[in-house]
Amino acid sequence: MSTEDMYAELAGQLDGELYIDDATREQYSHDASMLEVLPTAVIMPKDSNDLKSIVKFVTRQKLFFPDLSITARSGGTCMSGGSINDSIIIDFSKYFSSIHEVTPKMARVQPGVFYKDFEPKTLEQGAIMPSYPASRDLCTVGGMVSNNAGGEKSLQYGKTEKFVQELRVIFADGNEYVIKPLSREQLDDKMAQADFEGEIYKKIFDLIESNYDTIKAAKPNVSKDSTGYHLWNVWDRETEVFDLTQLIVGSQGTLGLVTDITFRLVPAPKHSGTLVMFLRKTDNLGEVINDVLAHKPATFEGFDNYTLMLSFKLFFYFHKNIGWLGMMKLGLQLLPDALMLTRGIPKMILLIEFSGDTTEAVAEKVHAMHEALKPYGHEALFEEDETEEKAQKFWIMRRESFNLLRKKVKDKHTAPFIDDLVVPPEHLPQFLPEVRAILNKYKFLATIAGHMGDGNFHIIPLMEIEKQSERDKLEPAMKEVNDLVLSYGGSLSGEHNDGMIRGSWLEAMYGPEVMGIFKQVKNIFDPQNIFNPHKKTDANWDYTKKHIRQHF
Ligand SMILES: Cc1cc2nc3c(=O)[nH]c(=O)nc-3n(C[C@H](O)[C@H](O)[C@H](O)COP(=O)(O)OP(=O)(O)OC[C@H]3O[C@@H](n4cnc5c(N)ncnc54)[C@H](O)[C@@H]3O)c2cc1C
């Protein structure tokens, strides 16, 4: 049977649409990563029955078409290449877009719902799902679950893994299962089942039990991590709770297809304000961070002098995002700071945000923070922006400069390959100059911005990536940066996940034993490797290298 006939047969079994035309395939060959892979087909499934049919069909046809596989895609904003692949892409955003139920405490929603459509519904209930990423206007909740996304509020609330209560997932046998935390008794019942589901529970439980200490010790010692499979969160001998959702969250669709999500929600903060700290020197950064964290801010973000300068340099580009009126407002607001900066460009700008029920309570917290940081005053300047509006200019720089980098800047493109590293905050004063030295050595035009409180930084060089000389820099630079991060006991990804870009570095981070355990996880769930190959434990740098983006 030809590939076309095979897809025609599959299309006949679906209520949704299946495309194999060049234009559609090309459209789905990119996400927000620096990679490109052309799929052979794109499917918009109508419902779970379609998905079950696809999984069963692929399982059968895999014998005759060994490269056949299924890659889920929701918003397509993955920066690690998680949502692209060389076989079937399943687009959840068209039909899996229902918000079933929202209360002040929980929400049940389909994975293709865009976060920007979800948040207004939760806010109507005075609630929020606080792990939204900086791509909140572009991404879906399915992608957030599958990448274990985090963002500016993760310092206070934690990442997506903390908010997933229940999932529906289609496993490799083509059936849909409800996954939620189980008591020991419920787990025993599951393990006694003589079917694929029972086998998964039994094998995963045995795997964790027989490697219990190794797995618990493997948990990265950082406050944010999206690498590997989070086995350490699945089974706890003391509480005797077994929670398989924790393995699916962050697994990038490599273990199954998520069809339904129940989130826990938290009350939405009513007011917020920011203390802005311009640091002339970063020698004391570690102590500053500790002092700030002791005040339990809602968010604690930061960006370096390069980001600031880029923001000024590319000021013009902002108008596309905030309009001319916004530009004028921003310009006027920035003017005093620009004048102040002539006294010396600060090395680092810290945004320390507090939230509360009244503006007065917020202003008090902002002021108390200022007072506590005054001893650093000889090398720092402060601005108290006790309302959201006053602090907006800095948040625009923080959020939009990152977004802006995605767009073409002259002849250069964003190259996210060291885009999400995490280093325990106490090491930042040593780490930041060292990482900057590596960036300078490779002559990368790159900003350092990110989540200070978590030591999670997004470094996204602008490169002429289509040039071989530039591509040749990727591997050695990545090795130097990743080795540096690991030497400080960090993680290679706080939020953006492994995908194709970091999967092949997992062994360097976890060592061969834990990597072997991760591979067993993949094999237990997906013995035929039908779900999102070339990612995570199945990633291979040679394959990744062949797919570095050439077309823009
Ligand atoms: C400008 C910009 C800023 C960003 N900032 C952040 C940030 O602050 N924090 C952060 O965490 N990330 C960030 N990202 C990365 C990305 O936007 C997020 O991780 C987001 O949550 C991905 O959602 P998505 O809907 O676009 O997912 P997609 O790109 O569609 O998919 C992401 C992964 O999930 C899998 N997947 C999708 N749907 C399903 C499903 N139904 N079942 C199983 N697997 C599925 C895909 O196969 C893929 O591996 C940023 C990206 C950009 C472009």
- What is the CA(125)–ligand 1 centre distance, in A? 25
| CA angle, residues 34, 39, 44, in degrees to nearest 5 | 110
Ligand 1 center to 295 CA (angstroms): 31
Average pLDDT score over residue span 119-137: 95
For the record, the structure tokens of 399 come out as 């959020």
Q: If you measure from the C-alpha of residue 144 to the centroid of ligand 1, how many angstroms do you get, rounded to a whole number? A: 5
For residue range 288-339, what is the model confidence (pLDDT) as tens digits?
888 999 999 999 988 887 777 776 666 666 555 555 555 555 554 554 454 4
Write down the pLDDT at residue 339.
Answer: 47
> 213 exposed, middle or buried (CB, 10 Å; 0-12, 13-18, 19+)?
exposed
Beta strands 127-128 and 99-102: pairing type? unpaired
Q: Where residue 233 falls among pLDDT bands split at 50, 70, 90?
A: very high
Residue nearest to atom 7 of ligand 1 (CA): 133
Higher confidence at residue 307 or residue 83? 83
Task: Give the pLDDT of residue 401.
Answer: 59
320 alpha carbon – ligand 1 mean position (Å): 23
Q: Does residue 405 carry a pLDDT above 80?
A: no
Residues 6+ positions from 321 with CB-CB distance below 8 Å:
400, 403, 404
pLDDT score, position 313: 66
Nearest CA to ligand 1 atom 11: 149
Classified as helix, coil or strand, 101 is strand
Residues 43 and 90: beta-carbon distance below 8 Å: yes
Q: 312 or 119, which is more confident? A: 119
* Reported confidence tier of residue 343, pLDDT bands at 50, 70, 90: low
State which ligand 1 atom lies nearest to the alpha carbon of 96. Answer: 41
Using the mean position of ligand 1's atoms as its centre, give its distance from the Cα of residue 545 in Å: 21
What are the φ and ψ backbone dihedral angles of 77, each rounded to 5 degrees?
-105, 15
Q: What is the largest CA-CA distance in the chain?
A: 75
Higher pLDDT, 82 or 284: 82
Please state the atom number of ligand 1 nearest to the C-alpha of residue 77: 26
CA of 80 to the centre of ligand 1 (A): 9
What phi-psi label fits residue 50: left (phi over 0), alpha (psi between -120 and 50 degrees) or beta?
Answer: alpha
Question: What average pLDDT does this structure show over 480-499?
Answer: 97
For atom 40 of ligand 1, the residue with the nearest CA is 258
- φ, ψ dihedrals at 67, nearest 5°: -90, 0
d(CA 40, CA 65): 12
Cα 62 to Cα 29: distance, rounded to the nearest angstrom: 22
Span of 240-244, 328-332, 468-472 with lowest mean pLDDT: 328-332
Q: Where are the alpha helices (DSSP H) in 442-503?
A: 468-487, 499-502
Amino acid at 232: W
- What pLDDT, on a 0 to 100 scale, did the predictor assign at position 286? 77
- Residue of 127, 124, 160 whose CA lies nearest to 142: 160
| Whether pLDDT at 341 is above 70 | no
Nearest CA to ligand 1 atom 15: 78
Residue with CA closest to ligand 1 atom 21: 144
The pair of structure tokens assigned to 113 is 């719902």
Average model confidence (pLDDT) for the chain?
A: 90
The answer, yes or no, to whether residue 414 has pLDDT greater than 90, is no
**What confidence tens digit (pLDDT) does each residue in 427-448 have?**
888 898 899 899 999 999 887 8
Q: Which helix (H) or strand (E) holds 399?
A: helix 388-406
Say how far apart CA 512 and CA 153 lie, in whole Å: 34
Q: Would you state the structure tokens that stand for residue 59, as one six-digit string?
A: 């399982």
Distance 374 CA to ligand 1 centre (A): 39
pLDDT of residue 19: 98
Average pLDDT over residues 357-382: 88
Residue 451 has pLDDT above 50, yes or no: yes
pLDDT bracket for residue 340 (50, 70, 90): low
Using CA atoms, how far apart are residues 267 and 269, in angstroms rounded to an integer? 6
Q: Residue 314: its pLDDT value, please?
A: 63
Residues with CB under 6 A from ligand 1: 31-32, 71-79, 82-83, 92, 111, 133-135, 139-140, 142-144, 146-147, 149-151, 252-253, 257-258, 402-403, 406, 495-496, 532
Percent of the chain with pLDDT over 90: 71
Return d(Cα 279, Cα 501) in angstroms, integer: 33
Residue with tokens 């499917």: 43
- Centre of ligand 1 from the C-alpha of residue 207, in Å: 29
> Measured from the CA of 148, which atom of ligand 1 is nearest?
11
Q: Is the pLDDT of residue 175 over 90?
A: yes
pTM for this entry: 0.92
Ligand 1: residue of 48, 79, 525 to mutate (most ligand atoms within 8 A of CB) is 79
Around Cβ 207, how many Cβ atoms within 10 Å?
18
Give the tokens for residue 69.
């596989």
CA of 74 to the centre of ligand 1 (A): 8
C-alpha span between 376 and 372 (Å, rounded) = 9
Please name which of 276, 248, 243, 419 lies closest in space to residue 351, comparing C-alpha atoms: 276
Distance of CA 147 from the midpoint of ligand 1 (Å):
6
What span, in angstroms and rounded, lies between the C-alpha atoms of 325 and 327? 5
Q: Spell out the residues 6+ positions from residue 38 whose beta carbon is closer than 8 angstroms to its own.
A: 25, 26, 29, 86
> For the chain, how big is the Rg over CA atoms in Å?
23
Spell out where 310-375 has E strands. Answer: 348-356
Report which ligand 1 atom has the smallest distance to the Cα of 258.
Answer: 42
Are 495 and 224 a contacting pair, CB within 8 Å? Answer: yes
